[in-house]
Structure 1
Amino acid sequence: MASKTSSVDQVLEALGGRGRYQLFQYFVCMFASFSASFQLFNIVFVGRHVTHTCKQPANISDIYQVIDNELFQANNSKIYFEKCNIRVEANISGGISTSDLPCIYGYEYVEGKDASLMSDMDIVCDRAHLRGFAQTLLIIGQGIGAFTLPVFSDRYGRRPVHLLSHLCFLGLGLGVAFAPTYTVFLVLRVFLGFVQQGIVLTKTTIGIEVFPSRHRKLSGLLNALLWTVATTVIALIAYLMQTYSWRSTQLAYCSVSLYVFVQFFLLDESLSWLITNNKTKQVTKNLKKAARMSGKDYHTVLNVYKSIQKQQESEKSLTESLLGSKDQGVNGKTTTVKEKDKTKPSFLDLMKRKRLAANVFVLWFTWITDSLTVFGLYMTAHSLAGSPHLNFVLYGLLEAPSVLVFFFMVDRYGRKKTSMTLHGIAGTALLAATVCKSVGKGISWSPIAVTAFSCLGMFGASGAWGTSFFFTPEMFPTNLRNFGLGTSSACSRLGGMLAPFSSLLAEYVEWAPGTIFGVCCLLVTVLVNILPETMGRELPQTVDDVEAWHKKTDDKTAKNMGILPP
């Protein structure tokens, strides 16, 4: 029986598989990676720490009036303007007495008050703990967006959700640049995280759906490479803008979102979504444009679509005729059986089936682990020597070789083996780094070994997360695909919110963060075995299609074990 999924693949193959139209649509959508990544990581530079001391008053003698102690006088005292306090030392009767005052006159910043968000709004000293909220609230917004927006994407299409999210992203980015207070800044960051997920999830889904199954790994490769380039450019922009105010730097970062106006004219709706949801008029219009761009005969492509459409309508009519007829029950009562619309499954349909529910929970735990590990390693990047701009670039570039490994493995050895290999590398390397750090204190080779194993861990973790982005959409039927990717991404926000605490935990239990990261990665290596292999399989249309993968795998396993006859 022909399925709508197979019709999509056949139509995409008729357009050339990875023809000019498909590549064009892919890049039109994927260049939004720059917008999404800039606002996610720019806080590292926009909100960077600026060296500061307490500000001196216009009249130094005012300090003695504040102390209000006649023993402290200008002729017997020295005043030190330190990082978070004003220290006054008085030589009284041959002894030194000290009086400490807070920075009651404000702060003096080495690079200027407007160099950073944190200096501009005095998020230092007793308010320094508020700095972490800037990223935490954005991640919370991402979690809310990941749970909410995919429902609209699956119902109304990828394109409208993507464009509206990107437009809002531009507006919110501009709002952040002109935020008058830190509270306003934090509120805007929540909404920024919310719509950022509308960009990331829809572009990932469109990237998967624009190519037929045999070319889907190309989407994963190009997506990861573009993300790597985007994160690297973040540091470059920060380096070039380091003499400007943080507001100017923020404007530079959000200006890339002006690209949404280009997308409005160039980005088409996903053919997979249009065909699945029977948008025949729009399908034929897009196919005409696609055939022209790809140098294919429009009527040939259209005939492929129409022939399969007719077959589907014939099969649907026959099925409805059979299932819609009255059936005489054994108790003599007449019942009418109505066919459920399998093209519009609900999330409960997955949860009601044990094997499919297990898939979902494994994917959720995998995403939590990947996010926790990658962001946790970014949070400890300051432990590397050298320029913070260079360190950021180094961690970003570590994703490139893992992408190449992913590209060569994913269609040769399968999604499961690729995921298991990269998670295994990450887990083993991070545990090795932890051991070296614990047993090699004071030994010259220890810092080198820790750095080397940590870099290897980042290589494995970033590649594993890229594999999860690629693997996850293939595990869900079309009308739950964006929702499945969205809930998985939402779960990863839990890891992102826990990651900043890794540095704090390390101050008390040095070996704990690396151990947690490593053990979780190794646990994922084992749990991925539960999932079915999707390599070479067309994207599933219904929940039954996904469950059929398990049945086929179970039958094959049973036959190999001699349980079933050959």
Structure 2
Amino acid sequence: MADKTSSVDLVLDALGGTGRYQMFQYFVCMFSALSASFQLLNIVFVGRDVAHTCKAPVNTSDIYLITDNELIQANDSKISFEKCNIRVEANISGNISTSKLSCIYGYEYMEGKDTSLMSDMDIVCDKEHLQGFAQTLLITGQGIGAFVLPTFSDRYGRRPLHFVSHLCFLGFGVGVAFAPTYTVFLVLRVVLGFLQQGIVLTNITITIEIFPSRHRKLSGLLTSMIWTVCNAFIALIAYLMQTYSWRTTQLVYCSVSLYVFVEFFLLDESLSWLITNNKTKQVTKNLKKAARMSGKDCHTVLNVYKKIQKQHESEKSLTESLLGSKDQGVNGKTETVKEKDKTKPSFLDLMKRKRLAANVFVLWFVWITDSLTVFGLFMTSYSLVGSPHVNFVLYSLLEAPAAIALYFTVDRYGRKKTSVALHGIAGVALLAATVCKFVGEGSLWSPIAVTVFSFIGMFGASGAWGTACLFTPEMFPTNLRNFGLGTSSAFSRVGGMLAPFSSLLAEYVEWAPGTIFGVCCLLATVLVNVLPETMGRELPQTVDDVEAWHKKTDDKEAKEMDTFPMARPKGPMEC
């Protein structure tokens, strides 16, 4: 029996599969990834640490008057202006007496006070623990947005949510550059995180739905490559803006969001959403435009759509007849199909079925792990050997080979095996980096080995996350797809919120961050096996479609066990 999902694939194939219209719409949509990625990771440079010392007063002798040590006040002393203390030392009868003062006169920054957000607002020394909140609160906003916004996307369409989010994102991005206090900055970062999810989640959904099922991996490859370029540009802009105020740098980063005014006239609604929600008039209009752009015969494309619509109507009439007869025979009354159509799938439908609920929980854990690992590695890039700008770019560029590996494996070996392999690579590499750091402490080879294994870990983690981005939308029916992707993305923010504090944890337990990253990745390799394989399957329309995948897998395994009795578990009497 045909369904609306298969009709989408047939229509997209009639347009050429990867025709000019589809590729044009893909790149129109994905150009907004510049906006989303810039505000997500620019804090690495906008909020970087700037070398500083305590500021000296106009009259240095004033320092003697405020020390508690009377002997120091009475003797000539040596004053040192350190990073977070003013050290006052005096040689008294051969003994060194020391007194420490806080930076009561403020701070002296080596590169200029307004170079970084943290130096501009004096978020250093006793306030240093507040630095991590700049990223944590943005990711908190992402989590809230991932839970709230997908409902609007599934109900009103991908396009309206995308534009509203992008436009507001521009406004609040400019607002961040003029934040008068750190508190205001943090509040605006929460809002940016919330709106960023409106851009990212609709991007993923639109670009997945714009190609037929056999070309979905192309979307995954292109998306990963585009994010690689976007992230690399973050470091490039930061390098070119080193001598400018962080506020000017922030304006440069958010200026790319002006693209929203161009995008408004170019981006169309997802055909998958329009067809599933019976927006026949808009589907017809968009198909005519798509056929002209792709060089396809307009009538041929429309005939494909109309033929499938007629098939749906005949199937619907048959279903109505059968349901009506059954309801009237059992209940003595007829339930109209119009009333049945009002019953739409909800997320609770997934939670009520054990196998499907297990899928959801595994996906959530995978997203948490991938987010924690990738963001944790980005946030600690400055601790590796070499320039932090170069390390950041290298980390970003590693997503390119990961995406290429993903492209050639997901349709050959499947989503599950690809995810298992990449999580395994990340887990082993990061644990190896931790061991090298611990065993080779103080040696020449240790920093190099740690850097190499960390890069391998980033390769595996970013590739695994790319697999999850492709895998997750395929696991949910159409009217829950954006919501399912949104909840998974929301749970990933748990990892993202913890990632900024990984460097703080390393100061107390140096081996802890790498161990946590590695163990979580290895655990993900085990849990992914719970999920059904989606390779070669069309996007599901209903919850029953997803559950049917499990039933087919169970039936296949049962047949294999009957065919090969030696592989069948032995009963008590067979031992």
The alignment's TM-score, normalised by the length of structure 2, stands at 0.94
1:349-370 Cα distance to aligned partner (Å, 9 max, x none): 1111111111111111111111
Hey, what's the Cα distance between the residues in 2 that align with 1:511 and 1:80?
34
Q: Which residue of 2 aligns with 1:346?
A: 346
Find the counterpart in structure 1 of residue 297 from structure 2.
Answer: 297
CA contact (8 A) 1:343 1:479 kept: no
| Aligned residue in 1 for 2:178 | 178
Alpha carbons of structure 1 residues 335 and 526: separation in structure 2 relative to 1, 3 Å: farther
The percentage of aligned residue pairs carrying the same residue is: 83
Q: 1:107 to 1:33 in 2, by over 3 A?
A: same
1:200 aligns with 2:233: no
Distance 1:387 1:484, change over 3 A: same
SS in 1 for 2:57: coil
Give the direction of change, closer, same or farther, for the CA distance of 1:79–1:447 in structure 2 (3 Å limit). closer
User: Which residue number in structure 2 is paired with residue 52 of structure 1?
Assistant: 52
**C-alpha displacement of 1:89:** 2.4
For the residues of structure 2 that align with 1:525 and 1:452, how far apart are their CA atoms?
22
For residues 440 and 130 of structure 1, what CA distance do their matches in structure 2 show? 32
The structure-2 alpha-carbon separation of the partners of 1:449 and 1:84, relative to structure 1 and needing over 3 Å to count, comes to: closer
Q: What displacement does 1:381 show?
A: 2.0
Query: Hey, what does 2:239 align to over in structure 1?
Result: 239
- Per the alignment, residue 418 of structure 2 pairs with 418
Query: Residue by residue, what CA displacement relative to the aligned partner does 1:75-95 show, whole Å, maximum 9, x if unpaired?
Result: 712322221122222344554
The alignment status of 1:401 with 2:414, answered yes or no, reads no
* 2:451 corresponds to 1:457: no
SS in 1 for 2:131: helix
What's the offset of the Cα at 1:342? 8.7
Query: Structure 1, residues 173-212: CA drift from partner, whole Å, max 9, x if none?
Result: 1000000000000000000000001111000000100000
Tell me the TM-score normalized by structure 1. 0.95
Paired residue secondary structure (1:199): helix
Match of 1:85 in 2: 85
Is residue 500 of structure 2 the alignment partner of residue 500 of structure 1? Answer: yes
* Residues 120 and 456 (structure 1), Cα distance of their counterparts in 2 relative to 1, 3 Å cut: same
CA gap 1:441/1:64 in 2 versus in 1, 3 angstroms: closer
The residue number in structure 1 matching 2:210 is 210
Q: Give the Å deviation of 1:337.
A: 5.1
Match of 2:104 in 1: 104
Deviation at 1:424, TM superposition (A): 1.4
> Paired residues, what number?
563
The alpha-carbon distance between structure 1 residues 477 and 435, as it changes in their structure 2 partners (threshold 3 A), is: same
CA contact (8 A) 2:385 2:451 kept: no
Task: Find the aligned partners of 1:192 and 1:41 in 2 and give their Cα distance.
Answer: 12
Contact 1:174 1:251 in 2 (8 A): yes
Aligned equivalent of 1:223: 223
State the distance in 2 between where 1:434 and 1:112 align: 36
Give, in angstroms, the shift of residue 166 of structure 1.
Answer: 0.6
- In the TM superposition, 1:147-166 aligns within 5 A as 147-166=147-166
Show the 5 A alignment for 1:486-565. 486-562=486-562
Q: Which moved further from structure 2: 336-345 or 494-503? A: 336-345
Distance in 1 separating the partners of 2:442 and 2:62: 49
Q: Distance in 2 between the 1:294 and 1:88 partners?
A: 77
* Deviation for aligned residue 1:343: 8.2
Instruction: Go from structure 1 to structure 2 and tell me whether the alpha carbon gap of 1:461 and 1:564 turns closer, same or farther (over 3 Å shift).
Output: same
**1:260 has 2:254 as partner:** no
CA deviations 1:482-537 (Å, max 9, x no partner) are: 00000000010111122233333333433333232222212211221221111111
Per the alignment, residue 362 of structure 1 pairs with: 362
| Cα shift readout 1:393-438 (whole Å, capped 9, x = no counterpart) | 1111111111110010011111111111111111222222233333
Q: 1:13, CA displacement in angstroms?
A: 0.5
Are 1:366 and 1:524, in contact at CA under 8 Å, matched by a contact in 2?
yes
Distance 1:67 1:34, change over 3 A: same
- The residue number in structure 2 matching 1:446 is 446
The alignment partner of 1:161 has SS state of helix
CA contact (8 A) 1:342 1:543 kept: no
Aligned residues of 1:326 and 1:337 also touching (Cα < 8 A):
no
Q: Residue 325 of structure 1: SS of its match in structure 2?
A: helix
**What secondary structure is seen at the aligned counterpart in 2 of 1:58?**
coil
Relative distance call for 1:338 and 1:553 in structure 2 (3 A) is: farther
Q: For residue 20 of structure 1, what is the aligned residue in structure 2?
A: 20
Contact 1:276/1:343 (<8 A) preserved: no
What one-letter code is carried by the residue in structure 2 that aligns with 1:295?
Answer: G
Contact 2:381 2:392 in 1 (8 A): yes
Decide whether the 8 Å contact of 1:436 with 1:446 is kept in 2: yes
Residues 273-292 of structure 1: CA deviation (Å, up to 9, x unaligned): 00000111111111111111
Deviation string 1:265-313 (CA, Å, 9 cap, x unpaired) is 1010000000000111111111111111101111111111111111111
Q: 2:489 is aligned with what amino acid?
A: S
Change (3 A) 1:281 1:65: same
| Corresponding letter in the other structure for 2:4 | K
Question: How many angstroms apart in 2 are the aligned matches of 1:560 and 1:91?
Answer: 86
How many Å separate the matches in 2 of 1:26 and 1:397? 21
Structure 1: gaps spanning 5 or more residues = none
Query: SS state of the match for residue 79, structure 1?
Result: strand
Change in CA separation of 1:264 and 1:72 when aligned onto 2, cut-off 3 Å: same
- 440-449 or 397-406, larger mean C-alpha shift: 440-449
RMSD (CA atoms): 2.0
Letter in 2 for 1:341: D
Structure 1 residues 262 and 355, CA gap change in structure 2 (3 angstroms): same
Q: Structure 1 residues 316-325 or 383-392, which shifts more? A: 316-325
- Residues 208 and 252 of structure 1: is their aligned pair in 2 closer, same or farther, counting only changes over 3 Å? same
The superposition leaves residues 136-193 of structure 1 with CA deviations (integer Å, 9 ceiling, x where unpaired) of 1001000000000000000000001011111111111100000000000000000000
Q: Flag the 1:127–1:509 CA change in 2: closer, same or farther, 3 A.
A: closer
Q: Secondary structure at the match of 1:108?
A: strand
Structure 1 CA distance, aligned partners of 2:482 and 2:223? 17
Pairwise CA distance, 1:61: 3.3
1:48–1:116 Cα contact (<8 Å) kept: yes
Relative to 1, partners in 2 of residues 1:401 and 1:349: Cα closer, same or farther, differing over 3 Å?
same
Gaps of 5+ in 2: 566-575
Q: Distance in 2 between matches of 1:549 and 1:127?
A: 53
Q: Aligned to 2:562, what secondary structure does the other structure show?
A: coil
Q: Which moved more, 1:455-464 or 1:315-324?
A: 315-324
Which one-letter code corresponds to 1:334 in the other structure?
G
Higher deviation after alignment, 51-60 or 487-496: 51-60
Report the counterpart of residue 310 of structure 2 in structure 1. 310
